[in-house]
Amino acid sequence: MAIESSCDETAAAVLRGGRTILSNIISTQIPVHRKFGGVVPEIASRKHIVNIMPVIDEALGQAKVQLRDIDQVAVTYGPGLVGALLVGVSAAKALAFSLGVPLIGVNHLEGHIFANFLSDTTLEPPFAALVVSGGHTALVHVKGYNHFTMMGQTRDDAAGEAFDKVARVMGLPYPGGPQIDKLAREGNPLAIDFPQALRDDGSYEFSFSGLKSAVLNYLNSMRQKGTEINRPDVAASFQRAVIEVLAAKSFDALEETGMDTLVLAGGVAANSALEARLREEAAKRKIRFVYPSPILCTDNAAMIGCRGFYQARAGKFADGYLNAVPGLGLSDVEDV
Ligand code: KG4
Ligand code: ZN
């Protein structure tokens, strides 16, 4: 049984072994938060409390298993909103304690990478993972199931955060990423030359806060001049600036490390133009490109279960003192 409640999705899944999904239930709070233009942490916590037991029940029901069949419980303990995380962590601890089974604390970002093991059951390390979510943007060298090296991450905003902020200044509803994705399909990505920060600096670090300001400045100056704004062009050009940086750094990383597989992970992996750009470039370079199916791209518990399975196999369990760690990041993990 795996549980995920780090942000605005209450999710539970049942897996058999590490790679077979028996059920994957997601109760989203997006409609609740939309009228506020973003996730309201206190409301999220309360909704998780209401939803957690029904979601767990549904996951058991759909998997056609009973509570007594559950032999391990995995849960996201960070990063995320503290109140939201605590609901899942408390439920998982209670479940593991009452069933007398091991508890596994999972890093949500590692979970996003492991979503790929569910989408492509033949995938095995080593590979390079580009993690692009609402809160993080990073390149990770996945050397083994429990052995990761960080290659670089964002200095400021995450890619998803940039999508959400730009969508907001364009008056698009929350969450902005899918809205920009849709609008951009009708626009010209070469219409406006937005900055591609750190693109060719030789590092694996990212920076998206300047891009967000550039879009804002562009919109303001067009409004001041009274020039009509072509919204699809703005969306497509902004999206291109993000994608070009992500693609350039990902393929540099593959070249430097000599790896032949690129894995895409996190909510922004659902972006159709990003997926298409990486797929096209990978084909040119004879690189294997793997990305999760849409349901496994955004937050879900199946990916947490998959990560938890491989941690358990390495003997990495949590105990009753497991706590939420809102600021948990991705860091090097050494196989022992
Ligand atoms: O991984 P995720 O579901 O939650 C976090 O762990 O942060 O990622 C959510 C992020 C949001 O910023 C959302 O706008 C973005 O993923 N996102 C997208 C798309 N779908 C979701 N960004 C661009 N294009 C999309 N199609
Ligand atoms: Zn996520």
- Tell me: the pLDDT tens digits for 10-35? 999 999 999 999 999 999 999 999 98
Ligand found nearest the CA of 179: 1
Domain count, the chain: 2
Which atom belonging to ligand 1 lies closest to the Cα atom of 158? 12
Under DSSP, the state recorded for 229 is P
Contact (CB, 8 A) for 261 and 250 = no
Q: Are residues 244 and 108 in the same domain?
A: no
Give how far Cα 186 sits from Cα of 163, 165, 232, 273, Å: 17, 20, 6, 12
Say how many Å lie between the first and final Cα of the chain, rounded.
Answer: 25
| Residues in contact with 98: Cβ distance below 8 Å, sequence separation at least 6, in sequence order | none
Instruction: Calculate how far, in angstroms, residue 66's C-alpha sits from the geometric centre of ligand 1.
Output: 33
Under 8 Å between Cβ of 132 and 267: yes
Which domain does 25 fall in, by range? 2-112+296-313
Which atom of ligand 1 lies at the shortest distance from residue 109's CA? Answer: 6
Identify whether residues 168 and 232 lie together within a single domain.
Answer: yes
Q: What share of the chain is helix, strand, coil (3-state, %, to 5)?
A: 45, 20, 35
Q: Indicate the top mutation candidate among 298, 303, 328 to test ligand 1's pocket, ranked by most ligand atoms within 8 A of CB.
A: 298
Pocket (CB within 6 angstroms of ligand 1): 7, 112, 133-135, 160, 163-164, 175-178, 181, 266-268, 270-271, 298-299
Q: Write the CATH number for 232.
A: 3.30.420.40
pLDDT tens-digit series, residues 212-240: 999 999 999 999 999 999 999 999 999 99
Task: For residues 250 and 256, give the distance between their C-alpha atoms in angstroms, rounded to a whole number.
Answer: 10
Two structure tokens written together for 274: 């990003």
Please tell me the pTM assigned to this model: 0.95
Distance 138 CA to ligand 1 centre (A): 14
Instruction: Say if residue 336's pLDDT is above 70.
Output: no
Q: Are residues 143 and 286 in the same domain?
A: yes
Tokens of 334: 């050494």
- Atom from ligand 1 closest to the CA of residue 112: 1
Same domain flag for 266 and 130? yes
| 117 falls within a domain | no
Q: Are residues 177 and 250 in the same domain?
A: yes
Let me know whether 300 and 286 are in one domain: no
Ligand approaching nearest to the C-alpha of 26: 1
pLDDT in tens, 289-311: 999 999 999 999 999 999 999 99
- Distance in angstroms (rounded) separating the CA atoms of residues 32 and 11: 16
- 321 within a domain of the structure (yes/no): no
Residue 198, token pair as written in the block:
């750190």
Instruction: State the residue for tokens 């997006």.
Output: 30
Claim to verify: residue 101 and residue 147 sit in the same structural domain: no
In a domain, 92, yes or no: yes
Per-residue pLDDT reduced to its tens digit, 54-88: 999 999 999 999 999 999 999 999 999 999 999 99
Amino acid at 87: V
Residue type (1 letter), 276 = A
Pair 46, 174 in one domain: no
Picking from 264, 273, 275, the residue whose alpha carbon sits closest to that of residue 236 is: 273
135 lies in a domain?
yes
Q: What is the distance in A from the centroid of ligand 2 to the CA of 6?
A: 8
Within this chain, do residues 17 and 137 fall inside the same structural domain, yes or no?
no
Residues 30, 90 within the same domain: yes
Test site for ligand 1: of 164, 268, 295, most ligand atoms within 8 A of the Cβ: 268
Pair (102, 146) in one structural domain: no
User: Encoding tokens for residue 218?
Assistant: 């562009």
Q: Three-state SS for 133?
A: coil
CB 131 within 8 A of CB 112: yes
Residue 244: strand, helix, or coil? helix
Same-domain check for residues 222 and 264:
yes
Residue 118, in any domain of the structure: no
